[in-house]
Amino acid sequence: MPENEIVPGKETVVQALDANWSFHLPHMHRVEIDHENSLVNISTPHDGSIYRLAGLEETDDEVIVKLGEEFAGHAVGTGDFVPAPGYRVPLIQDEFERLHGRWMNAGLPEQVFNAWAQGASRESHLHEIRRRLREAGAR
């Protein structure tokens, strides 16, 4: 099963508390759900956080993990430097930059990336970008 695939054949994306858009999980970012305790652990090799699970939503091609409040965070540092603990949830502009990088690496046309459907929300536009990336086999 591919990395972070909670439901076979569907991409797992995450929605932060009070956000109206979801972000994908880059390579080496992991999500684990503890259904029994309604908790979500999101981590990288260097940091991570545990959140209350606010919900799971399943669409035709994605599973959206909805985060509640953060309970705890951790971080790994070297020497005298230890970064602030916790997973860094991306800002919307960060998510567009990360997806844009994947888009360009996949050789897809930039004008399509920037073309918003009339009346599209941020989430519907991000979903469309992720869908096209999946179709192109981009990781």
Give the model confidence (pLDDT) of 62-105 as tens digits. 999 999 999 887 777 666 666 677 888 999 999 999 999 999 99
Give per-residue pLDDT as tens, 18-52. Answer: 999 999 999 899 999 999 999 999 998 888 899 99
Residue extents of the structural domains in the chain: 1-88, 90-139
**Token representation of residue 66:** 């909805």
Looking at residue 78, its pLDDT comes to: 63
Model confidence, pTM: 0.88
Beta partners for residue 56, in sequence order: 65
Identify the CA nearest to 39 among candidates 14, 74, 68, 4. 68
| pLDDT above 60 (res 1) | no
On the CB side of 127, how many CA atoms lie within 13 Å of its CA?
18
